[in-house]
Chains A and B, each alone.
Chain A
């Protein structure tokens, strides 16, 4: 495992770029365990693709793993079938119907000119005996795994009606002894890349809306300072290092500004700042703690946590200023607001009987559902399709990540050797 010294900025840039160029330098991958599943799971057969054994990724395995992880599919065992079709002409539907499969996926990886690959697949309806989807991709060998995720996305959308998030990325922070790392990985935990390595804490990573940058809070200057770092070039700069604390960065939906929290005037208050660090202006002005800002997807509201009423509750106010409206009314501790991509639901941390759990509130009705069940859950973040929430939790003293469906039914756990915390789900991939 490589640790990059952060005390020599030019060296840091070089080493970060190195990390992005050489995945082999990256760290331990997240292990995933799945608990629970939807009541009705679609039985699907993903036939091994025709591909050379020398290729690094077994596409069918990646697709099946993605679908299984969603909790909505039950991939069937295909080894031992009399025939393994790769072309439409080879498909014998009755064999697959006998297996109780409702859907069938077949495909090929062929080498094309210049060392590139052509990946093609078909999604077939076993009962109706027709094709639901079929696509071809021209890729470099290094894009094979990502292509498998994209195919899983197409299958997921065709059969559930909702976009898949298998080709997205997540970010999180790990802690091992006194070493901290900010990591970006695929949504299935593969290909973790260390973005920042430090002997001081890192908190509050936030994706820019276009997925090319992370804002985060680092204590490397012995106080909380906000940095913005490009995931493309590895370059980073200080966004805010004002007197006092600088923390809780939250990007506006158009990526041009961030809401941040400063203690410039003593107590934590909300400020707005341009993405290039200019144009600081104060947004909230109360005598309380105002923190954890989060924009609504339509840019009209900034949701935040405030204890102006005596204990932490969630409020919202216009980014143009003005009065704040209270949003949470149940219980004495509601904090860390995060909106769903359609802006209709609010996930947050709620304390009940001493336990901190993740709640989801439907904003139109005010109805609240608790979707997690341990005692130290925090940092909820919606997947870009609004169907899954990733959050940080604690199992027997160890920090792990948990993914739960927005209705609480499907669960996964992601863990690795180090403590994992502060997850944030990246935007939809293009």
Chain B
């Protein structure tokens, strides 16, 4: 085959791949897999007739609707990431069940998504015991999600104990803020 024909075929294949690629709004940008073109071959000096054939302009893309990632949509429960606990407790209170369920549903629907559940404790008591308490709270959410069919491959747990407080006042209101799990998605 002559070199010009090969160039045409390569370019045509490339263009075909481009035009068939649809840009969907997706929650988490997936890895983009592109067909890499064949290594460039030396071009003849003679003006290639083929150029005219492939120099068609691409069709103008249609205006896309703006879609908000449900994980960040303030109207979506998925944007809520914190579960709060009672003093010395790691039971998930009824009011937070819907939140846990929503994230579990999302994870089941998106097997490539992963979360880290970060456990925290208020600052009363020793740091190491509070580190352990935070971990127990993180595991509580993980286990609840396991029961909703989320695989351990999609959940990691860690604890910050009392080391990353949202506030530092010695008040009930502040302590309640710090007794919590935070859900963080790996892509964030």
List A residues at the B interface (Cβ < 8 Å).
Answer: 201, 203-204, 219, 222-224, 244-245, 247-248, 261, 263, 266-268, 289, 291-292, 305, 311-312, 333, 335-336, 349, 351, 356, 376, 378-379, 397, 422
Question: Do A261 and B132 touch across chains, with their CB atoms under 8 A apart?
Answer: yes
Contact digits for B80-105, partner A, Cβ 8 Å, 1 yes 0 no: 00000000100000000000000000
Question: Do B157 and A244 touch across chains, with their CB atoms under 8 A apart?
Answer: yes
Known: A244-B135, A266-B139. A289 touches B159 (CB 8 A): no
Distance in angstroms from A333 CB to nearest chain B CB is 7
Contact digits for B113-142, partner A, Cβ 8 Å, 1 yes 0 no: 000000000011111110111011001000
Distance in angstroms from B146 CB to nearest chain A CB is 11
B residues in contact with A248, CB < 8 Å: 128, 131
Q: Which residues of B21-57 have CB atoms within 8 Å of chain A's CB atoms?
A: none
Q: Report which of B129, B157, B164 forms a contact with A289, defined as CB distance below 8 A.
A: B129
Chain B: number of interface residues, binned into ranges: 20 to 34
Q: Report which of B124, B125, B128, B139 forms a contact with A247, defined as CB distance below 8 A.
A: B128
A residues in contact with B157, CB < 8 Å: 244, 263
Once bound together, how far apart are the Cα atoms of A336 and B136, in whole Å?
18
Once bound together, how far apart are the Cα atoms of A379 and B135, in whole Å?
20
Once bound together, how far apart are the Cα atoms of A282 and B18, in whole Å?
56
Q: Report which of A203, A222, A263 forms a contact with B135, defined as CB distance below 8 A.
A: A263
Known: A219-B160, A244-B157, A266-B139. A224 touches B131 (CB 8 A): yes
Question: Do B163 and A203 touch across chains, with their CB atoms under 8 A apart?
Answer: yes
Question: Do A305 and B129 touch across chains, with their CB atoms under 8 A apart?
Answer: yes
In the assembled complex, 25 residue pairs joining A and B whose CB atoms fall closer than 8 Å, in A order, are A201-B163, A203-B127, A203-B128, A203-B161, A204-B128, A223-B158, A224-B158, A224-B159, A244-B135, A244-B158, A245-B159, A261-B128, A263-B132, A263-B139, A266-B139, A267-B136, A289-B129, A291-B128, A291-B131, A291-B132, A305-B129, A311-B88, A356-B124, A376-B124, A397-B168
B residues in contact with A312, CB < 8 Å: 125, 129
Once bound together, how far apart are the Cα atoms of A311 and B125, in whole Å?
12
Question: Do B168 and A245 touch across chains, with their CB atoms under 8 A apart?
Answer: no
Q: Report which of B124, B135, B160, B161 forms a contact with A267, defined as CB distance below 8 A.
A: B135
Question: Do B124 and A289 touch across chains, with their CB atoms under 8 A apart?
Answer: no
Once bound together, how far apart are the Cα atoms of A410 and B88, in whole Å?
35
Once bound together, how far apart are the Cα atoms of A378 and B162, in whole Å?
13
Known: A223-B158, A245-B158, A268-B135. A292 touches B168 (CB 8 A): no
Once bound together, how far apart are the Cα atoms of A7 and B133, in whole Å?
29
Question: Do A245 and B126 touch across chains, with their CB atoms under 8 A apart?
Answer: no
Among residues of B, the one whose C-beta sits closest to the C-beta of A333 is B125
Distance in angstroms from B164 CB to nearest chain A CB is 7
Question: Do A422 and B127 touch across chains, with their CB atoms under 8 A apart?
Answer: yes
Once bound together, how far apart are the Cα atoms of A261 and B130, in whole Å?
13
Q: Which residues of B156-178 have CB atoms within 8 Å of chain A's CB atoms?
A: 157-161, 163-164, 168, 170
A residues in contact with B132, CB < 8 Å: 245, 261, 263, 267-268, 289, 291
